[in-house]
Copies of this chain bind each other. A is one copy, B any other.
Amino acid sequence: MSAVVCLSGGVGGAKLLLGLQRILPAGELTAIINTGDDFDHLGLRICPDIDTALYTLAGLANPELGWGRRDETWTFMQTLEQLGGETWFRLGDGDLALHIERTRRLGDGQLLDSITRVIAATLGIATTVVPMTNDAVRTRVMTDLGELDFQHYFVRLRCEPALQSCRFVGAETATITSAASAALTQSPRAIVIAPSNPYLSIDPILALPGMRELLRASGAPVIAVTPLIGGNAVKGPTAKIMRELKREISPLAIAEHYRGLVDGFVLDECDSALAAQLAIPCAITNTLMRSLADRERVADVALEFADSLRARGAR
């Protein structure tokens, strides 16, 4: 009952993953990562959320960009532009190595989970980083410009079209990876839903057949950490999307979105006045993760909160 499982998407989620990795003994964290953002581009399989998790957990993430690798060079992209290639999705020279190596291994018949495991081990990552599925699940967003591939909407159009709905093509027949199932069924200490975008990053994970049931049957307290602070997302389009989906831009709406799934909610301290309106127990802390100490603190608060819920029999 020592292991912790975290469901995570992109940058915000990876920050909490790093905090959890730093406070937990090696090997006790399993990160189940959204693959709905994955796409094929320039003949390469790109898995943005897996890569953000890997780079962040390996200490290789680019602190300025918030994506990609630190100490990156851009010769490939500059040359591709000169050749008239597609350059709207920025790929650094070092980043390319991961995409090319993964694509090569997929072409050899290896599965995404085992490729990710090998790469994580090569990078010396203590966390078990697991794609939610080996099957193709592709997030498509219905917008005022029609239905778009996720990265076309998210990167190429910078989330500018108004979002009306999302669907996760392939999710209904996708199988949860065995390491993800195993982590959820082996009596975890806690399950944490990272402060990732609920609609774009967490919902694809929850859309997999059996995932909600595994979370509920795990016996572990399920804690969500708010991705909203004082009515704004720290990064990314969460608030904009909530407006377009006509949700109240409030942590309460996030908690409502996860109703029936989570046992506790971590609110930001600047939203503490909302605590009384939550239908479930909450913990309050500064959830803004600027420093490594911040990441560790939020991770610590989430786990202590989970432990307290278990002790109280709230789960």
- Which A residues fall within an 8 A CB radius of B? 42-44, 69, 72-73, 75-80, 82-85, 92-98, 100-101, 103-104, 107, 118-119, 122-123
* Chain B residues within an 8 Å CB radius of A107: 43
Nearest residue (CB) in B for A119 is: B83
Nearest residue (CB) in B for A91 is: B100
* Chain B residues within an 8 Å CB radius of A122: 82-84
Tell whether, in the assembled complex, residue B92 and residue A75 are in contact, meaning their CB atoms are under 8 Å apart.
yes
Question: Which of A43, A72, A73, A96 has the largest count of B CB atoms less than 10 A from its CB?
Answer: A43
CA distance A76 to B100 in the complex (A): 10
Main secondary structure of the interface of A (DSSP, over half): helix
* Chain B residues within an 8 Å CB radius of A42: 100-101, 104
Tell me how far the C-beta of A206 lies from the nearest C-beta in chain B, rounded to whole angstroms.
Answer: 31
Nearest residue (CB) in B for A83 is: B101
Question: Which of A44, A78, A100, A122 has the largest count of B CB atoms less than 10 A from its CB?
Answer: A100
CA distance A273 to B115 in the complex (A): 62
CA distance A82 to B13 in the complex (A): 25
* Chain B residues within an 8 Å CB radius of A44: 43, 100
Tell whether, in the assembled complex, residue B73 and residue A93 are in contact, meaning their CB atoms are under 8 Å apart.
yes
CA distance A119 to B92 in the complex (A): 22
Tell whether, in the assembled complex, residue A96 and residue B76 are in contact, meaning their CB atoms are under 8 Å apart.
yes
Residue A43 contacts which of B43, B79, B97 (CB distance < 8 angstroms)?
Answer: B43
Question: Which of A44, A83, A97, A104 has the largest count of B CB atoms less than 10 A from its CB?
Answer: A97
Tell whether, in the assembled complex, residue A75 and residue B93 are in contact, meaning their CB atoms are under 8 Å apart.
yes
CA distance A145 to B83 in the complex (A): 40
